[in-house]
Amino acid sequence: MDIDRLQSFRRITFILYIFFLCVNVSSSSNRNEVVLTDNRYQNLIIAINKKVPVDTTIIDRIKDLFTDGSRRLFEATNRRAYWETITILVPKTWPANANYILPKTESFSVANIVIDLPNERYDDNPYTQQPGLCGHKGEYIHLTPNFILNKIDSEKMWGPVDKLLVHEWGHLQWGLFDEYPTKDTPNFYKHSNNKIEATRCSLTVKGQYKKNGTDDECYLDPETGVYESGCVFSPDTNNQTATASYMYGQFIDSVTSFCHSDPSDPLGYHDVELPHKHNTMCGSRSAWDIILRTQDFKGGVNQPVAGYVDTTPTFTLMQPTDRRVVLVLDTSGSMTGDRIQQLRQSATHYLLYTIDSGSYVGIVHFSTYAQVLSELVEITDDNSREALVAVLPTVATGGTSIGSGVLKGIKVLSRGIQTAKGGSLLLLTDGMNNALPDINDVLDDVENAGVVVDTIAFSSSADPNLENLSDVSGGIAFYFNDIEDISVLNSAFETTVTSRPDQSSQPLPIMLHSDAVATVGGSFSSVESVIVDSDLGKDTVFSFSWINSYSIQVTLTSPDGNLVDQSLQKVDLSLKTINIKIPNIAQDGIWDFSIKSPSTDTVTVNVQSSPQTADNCPITVVPLIGDPSIDYTTEPYTIICVAVTKCYLPVVGADVFVEVESSNSCQTVELLLFDNGAGADVTKDDGIYCGYFLDACGNGRYSVSVKVKSPETNSAFVNMAKATGSLPINPDSTTNKELPVFVPTEMFSRSASGGVIQVTGYVNRPPTTDVISPSKIIDLRVLATSYSEQKVVIQWTAVGDDLDTGNATKYELKMANSFSELLTNFANAREINNNDVIEGDITIIRPAGVVERIGLRVPTRGANQTYFFAIRAQDEASNYGDVSNIVSANMQYIPPIPYMVNSTTVSLTSADKTKVTETVTETVTDVTADAITTAISSTDWTIGLTRSDRSTGPTYFTQTTTSTITTTPTDSTAVNHTVSYTTTLENTTPSLDPTTENPTTQTSLETEEPTSHEFTTGSPTTLASTETPDSTSRESITSKPTTITMSPSATTLTTVPTSNTVTLMSTTDVLTTKNTLAGTSQATNSKHPTSVPVTIPANNSTTTTDLSSNTTTTMNGTTNHTDSTQYPTIPTSPTKSTEPIEATAQPPENEDRTALWASLGAVVGIALISLAVFGIIKFIGKKNKVDIDPESGQEMTSSQSFEDI
């Protein structure tokens, strides 16, 4: 019992720790931190992208928007918070202004709010990139110039723009999630109040249930138990009383706050049952509860302010200048040998190929003291680059004074009239600071100078305080493990440039490949491949570096199979590097290389390429480490994410790997990241791939490297599905219309550095000790319900043994009659086992990331019968994951949805299965013939009817075709013959009785007339030629069909004529046309499975036209299509949407009179027979004087007669 209690306590402690961790972590380590002090947010950075055209009105509108938004924020937080200081970063590409000051550490890449051009997925929709868990700060809010400048249009779409800003701030600063339905959450659900409710917050928000984009009422769907697909809840924008929530409908006039957990205020009360994403991710806690648990308000800080408060922010305008960087390089004694050589290899590549033209670079080295090797030099050409390479240090000796190097680097940045502000230092060291000043002694100097310090810890011996320089300055920290493979070192140098694109006026290089190749002496390595995609190709460089061998040989083959000329190889045997720069634009495709060395060696290979123009939009990779500091005693893991995008559009289906390399002697850990909306990944298909790093093996630094590529056997895709960050007033405005959802990418590959992770407090637990639970399942769903089978189909994504790694041991799937039972007493709820399962097997546990699905039979069904389900995973050590989101299944009877035909397509297809889709006019020109005969003809034809997924059925069509021919002179030598035809479909299908789940009952008969039939008509038409003796043969031509729509209540439809044209040289031709259409088909109805053949009677029409006075002939063909379908019946009382909605429909009564009388006759007959049998038994019993007790089987006394029994 004590062990059980201990395990329970450990699980509860871990779950509580997970939750409080989620509401206390920051955004990725290099994002600007906005801090709330004394109710005032300080240092919010808004950055305008350099691609945004010059328009200073944007600055004025930003000020207006955030001034109004600050007032709204103060109101929404109950007078607890507003924005006080805001920096607007104007792009370098805009004209300079005396009012713009130089930034310190501010840049576009660390901005909290970015102003950038729209993309095809979001258009001008504001949104927040939010890869973290509940309470985890987002990365940035994305706004477009159009959204800011066109306030009237923006407010037509989203309501007051200042309120929308507060909604997005909830995502960014507090890690809240949407409370409206998304593609991952249902629109409707069955509530404990026995109503079908819309997903929203609060429940007091009033609105209408309508078909999307129409005023049609919604029906309950018997296959899901909630409203049918395409139904939406449209909240009233006016006359509301609900005060919450900002995370649902910020455009509602009465909404002024976030949903809360105070039941005394029902107008803003948070309902724990709502299946929106916020409840799923935040354990059904209200938005306001989560806000109060963040660092902004935790511990009761920043209480409401009384009295008048001026919430107007102070704005500061900044504009970056040219990139200015000083390399601060360690040349102490510990850097001798291979280390100084590797430093020079990476620094040389950086100076020759990475740093962009127009930048200024200086070089400082330090040992016991610091010395300037080069003042700032502008990168203008190859000569300026080579001059800097020439002064790189070659000797390492003396002590280590990191502080001296930092101070000397700041002085180089501030020479002459220059100020150090806005410059950066790239500091590399391998040892402890052992000569004054110390690292911590110069931190104030770094902050006061306004410089960014990026640090590279070169080996595990580097000073543990080194990262303090990066932390205080907003720089990036890296770690290189002092091995022969310097790909991590090269990536670190490259990232310091590419992570700050706003400092450049030109496209920056992208790392395609960064890895090592092991060679065996005397033979070529296996062939390695690198993909250059078509968005890139400019300044493409293949770089090879090594340590041991005197020299190596490299062969490089382009995608067209040609060997790259050896003369392009730039070989430096003293530095031990080979660089191959491809002239002009490199071919896109697969480049192959192999390496030969005289001895066993490790060769580092780096390949980079730049966009061909500034307008190209290549795929980019951005690592996002949730918390780079792991305290193993309380937090034995961290989340690593990678954003893979193309112009902000998510790239999905890519292979994303992370390599984590330890400073200890541990093996490198490779993680496969997922974008599946499970485990560490918050949102499926958003282009952000996430996973947990669990495998720390000791204290120290861990380097993070990222490799991304398109799958070898498939393609990755750009997700272009329309999305929005805030609920628009009209939900239909963000749906895909003609835009494809997923567009395949080219083959591609990318590499990037993810910086460094620091581990402290490591405890070497025995292998049998397991304290990490499986992840919480966050995507439990009810896919379908069946009243007739008493079945519910449930789906979720598998989690791992330790969070999202490995396999769990067991699932606990629980069922209850109330939501509260699962929320508060999950452990004691009824558990589902395989006796309940009728599809699948709940005991089979699949690996993390795999979709699980089972069908189970529920005990009962009927009016007001609702079941609730929740699940959690268990590992082999009896560690339990947190309880999943709770879902409901409606098991009341729901009649079939009334039969409706909307935009139904009838396709004419030929015997060879050629699909007819469109009609066009075609012309044939003949220069010799005197006459031509054309005919509209076809092989056997089939009309196939495809209705909605709810109503299909057999259909008869009568079809006729007519044609006309016209001839138009063109000139003296040619004749154009144009053939036009018109097709009409008439639906003549008889009515069918409905087949319901209970075949003994049916509703009264109602037949619905045809509505909105869309027909694809005009079979492929062959225009055959008949020539005069002196003519030459000519090819026949085939016309294409057109698509026509039959309007409601119409039964006969005629297409708009289209034409086929034949051009001849002669003016004495005779044109004859002939049409034949005939065929049969079968069409079936999933609800009404009776199958009836569709017959198209043959229709032959021939038209002959004398062309003696014309030069162009047009043949018009008309086919009549008659819709004679007699449609299935409609239930007399279908369940429609009302407000409020309470669906309590019962199975329909039997209206079939014949069946009713037959049933009554049978009942009467059985009753008469029973009476007769009873009389016989009674007679026999009396006659024999023996009565039998039916329970004991014994004879009874005369006083216990059969009659008494």
Catalytic residues, by residue number, are: 168
**DSSP conformational letter for 1120:** -
What is the rounded distance in angstroms from the CA atom of residue 775 to the CA atom of residue 787? 33
55 HSE (CA, 13 A, CB side): 16
Q: Which residues, 6 or more positions from 6, have their beta carbon under 8 angstroms from its beta carbon?
A: none
Q: Please say whether the beta carbons of 650 and 685 come within 8 A.
A: yes
Angle between helix 487-498 and helix 338-349 axes, rounded to 10 deg: 40
DSSP symbols for 757-824: EEEES-----TT---PPBPPP---EEEEEETTTTEEEEEEE---SBBTBS--SEEEEEEESSHHHHHH
- DSSP track, 34-74: PEEETTEEE-EEEEE-TTSPP-THHHHHHHHHHHHHHHHHH
Q: How many residues does the chain have?
A: 1205
In angstroms, the CA 732 to CA 727 distance is 11
What is the rounded radius of gyration, in angstroms, for the C-alpha atoms of the chain?
A: 38
Residue 863: HSE in the Cβ half-sphere, 13 Å Cα cutoff: 6
Distance (Å, whole) CA 588 – CA 1012: 48
Produce one character per residue of 1007-1046: b if its CB has 16 or more CB atoms within 10 Å, e if not: ebebbebbbbbbbbbbbbbebeeebeebeebebbbbbbeb
Residue-by-residue DSSP string for 817-853 = SSHHHHHH-GGGSEEP-TTTEEES-TT--PPTT-EEE
Cα 700 to the center of its chain, rounded Å: 35
Q: Taking a C-beta distance cutoff of 8 angstroms, is the pair 954, 1083 a contact?
A: yes
Q: How far apart are CA 628 and CA 457, in angstroms?
A: 15
Q: Spell out the residues 6+ positions from residue 312 whose beta carbon is closer than 8 angstroms to its own.
A: 67, 70
855, 791 in Cβ contact below 8 A?
yes
The answer to whether 388 touches 374, Cβ cutoff 8 Å, is yes
CB atoms within 10 A of CB 1048: 12
702 beta partners:
662, 757
Torsion of CA 116, 118, 123, 128, to 10 degrees: -30
Distance separating alpha carbons of residues 169 and 187, to the nearest angstrom: 24
**Longest pairwise C-alpha distance within the chain:** 134
Question: Is residue 458 a contact partner of residue 429, using CB atoms and an 8 Å limit?
Answer: yes
Dihedral sign of CA atoms 832, 834, 836, 837 in order: positive
Residues 6 or more apart from 1022 whose CB is under 8 A from it? 935, 936, 937, 938, 1036, 1037, 1038
Residue 983 region by backbone torsions, left for phi larger than 0, else alpha for psi between -120 and 50, else beta: beta
- Phi first, then psi, for residue 827 (nearest 5°) are -60, -30
Question: Which alpha helices (H) appear in 391-508, and where do they start and end?
Answer: 402-413, 443-449, 466-473, 487-498
What is the number of other CB atoms lying within 10 angstroms of the CB of residue 721?
18
**CA 742, CA 547: separation in Å to the nearest integer?**
45
Tokens of 1161: 């006759």
